[in-house]
């Protein structure tokens, strides 16, 4: 006989209890303990259960919840607990049979219904505790966004951020307390700022407009997007390198010799499920990588300051490794000995000495060697001619 779950996660809206389905109402009536935010608890009718207020910050409440294991507990969460909600933060601590979920209507669905927007082509973000820069890759003319925000101050910061990025003409609909009797909509332009003090729970529906610079969807983004001291894999070579790295969902990258961080950042821009660690020996460059990553909305990039291979010890196992700087026989030997079978390895070399290392490694381990010769049109006296860049040797192999 299957053991009944002790925890029920209930998605609740601003119109509870009238808006709750029968199964959710029954779970609340049967619960010994109901735990939730003060505004959720205030919506409930009189019940026999003990009411426990979820503390701030949210993480502090997880141990309290788990301390009631074995009793009948109901946890209240906004809307759909598993769409930028609290559900996963709790269930990662539980066994599959410990819990069940009764989701409500998500804030995204409610906002799309107010705006008349198709959710399948609308970008959705949960930024309660995340920086607004995560919006950066999505900012392009005509894009529609629905963004969950922490409070009224975050709404004002959103308008300021859009103005600073050149998207001041964007239309913002500030949506408060969706789904309940206090629901309110305020329409404004980002350039005009936010008046009043929007109340939590609040989200913003945004239609992007203006003259800002959009981040292209393909690899090989413009060099101007990255702050650099000149140590950077330039756009054409970066595009070829990302093609060789071939990111796939949920993979982890080591970017050895980060420079400006452009390779790791473009890797992360490929898909939100990807992760990356970049290793950089110079403090100033490591700081610059962090700034570039934050500015382009991939603040999840892990940055390790140090020399490879020493700095690689103890790091998360990679699916893919790129060596863009610090190439040596010692490093290649360490990677060959430590990386798992099936790991993809890509290395670029500019000097003759580094190129010789790649030729020796390719002879030993196989893979593909590619020579990249690029030239740009440049002034040549009163006319123009081709100015060649240093050729680059690229080795790509699956170990």
- Same structural domain, 250 and 393: yes
Number of H helices, E strands in the chain: 11, 19
Where among 78, 105, 132 does a domain terminate? 105
- Same structural domain, 171 and 231: no
Which structure tokens are listed for 98?
Answer: 């410990």
179 secondary structure, DSSP code: T
Rounded to two decimals, what is the model's pTM?
0.91
Residue 216 within a domain: no
- Same structural domain, 132 and 264: no
- Same structural domain, 341 and 247: yes
- Same structural domain, 44 and 73: yes
| pLDDT score at 45 | 87
- Cβ-contact 208, 173 below 8 angstroms: no
| pLDDT score at 1 | 42
- Same structural domain, 387 and 349: yes
Where among 45, 72, 105 does a domain terminate? 105
| pLDDT score at 2 | 53
- Same structural domain, 50 and 151: no
- Same structural domain, 247 and 376: yes
First to last CA, the chain: 47
Q: Per-residue DSSP letters for 90-111?
A: HHTTS-GGGEEEE----HHHHH
Please choose, from the candidates 267, 35, 232, the residue with its C-alpha nearest in 3D space to the C-alpha of residue 137. 267
- Same structural domain, 250 and 169: no
| pLDDT score at 60 | 94
Residue 1 within a domain: no
Please choose, from the candidates 363, 254, 249, 273, the residue with its C-alpha nearest in 3D space to the C-alpha of residue 318. 254
* Residue 172, strand partner residues: 188, 206
DSSP alpha helices (H): ranges in the chain?
Answer: 22-30, 38-41, 60-66, 87-91, 107-115, 152-164, 235-245, 262-269, 283-295, 329-338, 352-365
**Host domain of residue 261:** 223-398
Backbone angles phi, psi at 158, to 5 degrees: -60, -50
Separation between Cα atoms, residue 88 and residue 92, nearest integer Å: 6
Can you give the pLDDT of all 399 residues of the chain as single tens digits?
457 899 999 998 887 777 788 899 999 999 999 999 998 999 888 899 999 999 988 899 999 999 999 999 999 998 999 999 889 999 999 998 999 999 999 999 999 999 999 999 999 999 988 999 999 999 999 999 999 999 999 999 999 999 999 999 999 999 999 988 889 999 999 999 888 888 888 999 999 999 999 999 999 999 999 999 988 899 999 999 999 999 999 999 999 999 999 999 999 999 999 999 999 999 999 999 999 999 999 999 999 999 999 999 999 999 999 999 889 999 999 999 999 999 999 999 999 999 999 999 999 999 999 999 999 999 999 999 999 999 999 999 999
DSSP alpha helices (H): ranges in 42-188?
Answer: 60-66, 87-91, 107-115, 152-164
* 3-state SS record for 214-261: CCCCCCCCCHHHCCCCCCCCCHHHHHHHHHHHCCCCCCEEEEECCCCC
Number of domains in the chain: 3
- Same structural domain, 176 and 310: no
Residue written as token pair 């982890």: 252
- Cβ-contact 276, 264 below 8 angstroms: yes
Which structure tokens are listed for 67?
Answer: 């301390």
- Same structural domain, 112 and 74: no
- Cβ-contact 91, 4 below 8 angstroms: no
Where among 61, 79, 105 does a domain terminate? 105
- Same structural domain, 142 and 282: no
Whether residue 309 is preceded by a cis peptide bond, meaning omega within 30 degrees of 0, is: yes
State the sign of the Cα–Cα–Cα–Cα dihedral 157, 158, 164, 165. Answer: positive
| pLDDT score at 197 | 84
Please choose, from the candidates 62, 63, 67, the residue with its C-alpha nearest in 3D space to the C-alpha of residue 77. 62
| Distance set, CA 34 to CA 31, 250, 394 (Å) | 7, 36, 59
Which structure tokens are listed for 332?
Answer: 């290649």
Residue 213 within a domain: no
- Cβ-contact 44, 137 below 8 angstroms: no
């Amino acid at each position: 006989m299957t053991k009944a779950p002790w925890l029920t996660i209930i998605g609740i809206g601003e119109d509870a209890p009238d808006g709750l389905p029968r199964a959710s109402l029954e779970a609340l009536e049967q619960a010994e303990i109901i735990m939730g935010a003060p505004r959720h608890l205030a919506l409930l009718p009189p019940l026999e259960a003990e009411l426990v207020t979820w503390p701030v910050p949210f993480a502090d409440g997880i141990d309290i919840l788990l301390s009631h294991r074995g009793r009948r507990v109901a946890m209240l969460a906004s809307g759909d607990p598993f769409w930028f909600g609290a559900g996963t933060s709790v269930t990662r601590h539980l066994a599959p049979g410990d819990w069940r979920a009764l989701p409500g209507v998500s804030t995204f669905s409610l906002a799309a219904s107010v705006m008349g927007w198709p959710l399948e082509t609308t970008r959705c973000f949960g930024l309660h505790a995340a920086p607004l820069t995560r919006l950066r890759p999505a900012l392009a003319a005509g894009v529609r966004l629905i963004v969950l925000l922490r409070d009224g101050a975050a709404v004002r910061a959103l308008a300021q951020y859009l103005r600073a990025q050149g998207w001041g003409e964007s239309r913002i609909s500030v949506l408060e307390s969706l789904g309940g009797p206090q629901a309110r909509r305020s329409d404004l332009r980002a350039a005009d700022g936010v008046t009043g003090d929007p109340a939590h729970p609040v989200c913003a529906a945004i239609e992007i407009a203006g003259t800002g610079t959009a981040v292209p969807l393909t690899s090989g983004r413009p060099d101007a997007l990255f702050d650099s001291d000149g140590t950077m894999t330039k756009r054409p070579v970066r595009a070829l390198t990302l093609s060789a790295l071939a990111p796939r969902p949920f993979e982890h990258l080591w970017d050895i010799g980060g420079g400006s961080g452009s390779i790791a950042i473009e890797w992360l821009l490929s898909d939100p499920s990807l992760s990356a660690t970049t290793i950089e020996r110079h403090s100033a460059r490591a700081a610059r990588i962090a700034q570039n990553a934050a500015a382009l909305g991939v603040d999840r990039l892990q940055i390790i300051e140090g020399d490879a291979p020493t700095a690689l010890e103890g790091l998360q196992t990679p699916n893919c490794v790129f060596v863009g700087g610090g190439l040596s026989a010692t490093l290649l030997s360490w990677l060959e000995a430590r990386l798992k079978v099936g790991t993809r390895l890509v290395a670029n070399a500019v000097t003759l000495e580094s190129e010789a290392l790649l030729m020796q490694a390719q002879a030993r381990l196989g893979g593909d060697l590619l020579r990249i010769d690029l030239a740009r049109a440049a002034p040549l006296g009163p006319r123009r001619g081709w100015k060649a860049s240093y050729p680059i040797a690229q080795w790509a192999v699956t170990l």
